[in-house]
Amino acid sequence: MRIVLFCENKYAVAILHPIHEYAYSKGTHKILWYVHAPKFPEFPLKDEVEYTTSIQEVYDFSPEAIFVPGNIVPYYLPGVKIQVFHGYAGEKKGHFIIRHYFDTYFTQGPFFTKRFKELAEKHKNFEVVETGWPKQDWIKKHLHDFDNEKKALLQKHGKSSIVLYAPTFSPKLTSLNSIKEALVQLVHSEDIILMMKFHPLTAKEWVEEYKQLAATEKNILWVDDFSVTKYQLMADLMISDTSSTVYEFLLLNKPVVTLKSASKHICWSNIQEPQELHKAYTEAISDKEAIARRRWIIENYDPYLDGKVAERMLSAAEDYIKRYGVPTERKVNLWRKYTSIKTFGRIKRK
């Protein structure tokens, strides 16, 4: 099978990489990464995989399956177009909007599957298959890879635990504009290191302000890898807001504190004012009842933590092609066609 891994944004790399690893291990698939150049100063896998920044080259590759962790994929590309999602934040605006670019949706767990199957019944132009989320395969494989790095970091700073601050970039949902002072107070009063990892789309002014904070506080560290997952594995508790990283962290069975989360299914400590942060932190680290609440998240948001998500995804893609063949393009309205062309450009058809 000819596979395209479609990266419009930087966060897509960590999501799609497990699919690449599994497909490559089979030795029977051809794999091409598409990297949307305007959003990638540098592709982190440029020396490891075959990739292109040309949508024409993607078309000429004639893919049979395109895996997309974003909202849009050019309608004119051949191949079954598969939505694999960029996270678990179902409460975010647009998560359940059907934009009609996708032939099938590979959902993370029952919470998402139920809603998308209802939408599939309504629109009748896509399928839904529950597979789990591919990033969980990487987590399963690398769960303890950073234990020694964590131990060394704690010894260096003379601290006992690591807290990760990972806010969303959305201006309406982010905690960046109100939580800074509370974070500093927490670091000064508790035996912790605070790591800050921001979403790639975070506004530059917030990035610069918090980088400056890290430069002036010895126990606050700015980290800037393309993926947050490493720091989730190292951290003992996470502070956030309405970010899909909350659910990723809960799936590790670790405590979370959020500020003004918009989630409809809050199974963690959520505060309404920044000054409540310290109390929430001390309570969250010893809350035994929170384990049961996190179990609900695991069972409903993503119970597929077995390291076989990519395997299920490729099998489901192959099954779709066996039943329907390889689509030549996706039927969309004029507005969707215009959006595709405006975002990714035109191609010369064969």
The domain ranges of the chain are 2-133+305-344, 145-301
Phi, psi torsion values for 130, nearest 5 degrees: -90, 115
pLDDT of residue 290: 80
pLDDT of residue 245: 87
48 pLDDT more than 90: yes
pLDDT of residue 94: 67
pLDDT of residue 93: 60
Amino acid at 101: Y
Cα distances (Å, whole numbers) of residue 160 to 92, 148, 190, 211, 226:
34, 14, 9, 23, 26
What is the reported pTM? 0.84
Query: One fold for both 2-133+305-344 and 145-301?
Result: yes
**pLDDT tens, residue by residue, 264-284:** 778 899 999 999 999 999 999
Let me know if domain 2-133+305-344 sits in CATH 3.40.91.
Answer: no
Residue whose pair of structure tokens reads 């131990």 in the numeric block: 151
- Residue 255 burial (10 A CB sphere; 0-12, 13-18, 19+): buried
The helices-and-strands tally (H runs, E runs) of the chain is 13, 13
Count of CB atoms within 10 A of residue 133's CB? 30
pLDDT of residue 199: 87
pLDDT of residue 266: 84
24 pLDDT more than 90: yes
Count Cβ neighbours within 10 Å for each residue of 293-325 and write b for 16 or more, e otherwise: ebeebbebbbebbebbbbbbbbebbeebbeeee
> In sequence order, which residues have a C-beta less than 8 Å from that of residue 301 and are 6 or more positions away?
88, 108, 109, 111, 112, 247, 250, 251
pLDDT of residue 35: 97
342 pLDDT more than 90: yes
Distance CA 156, CA 227 (A): 24
Q: Average pLDDT for residues 294-311, to the nearest whole number? A: 92
297 pLDDT more than 90: no
325 pLDDT more than 90: yes
Q: Name which of 302, 327, 328, 349 is nearest 108 in CA terms.
A: 302
Phi-psi category of 86—alpha, beta or left, where left has phi over 0 and alpha has psi -120 to 50? alpha
Phi, psi torsion values for 69, nearest 5 degrees: -95, 40
CATH number of 145-301: 3.40.50.12580
Amino acid at 248: E
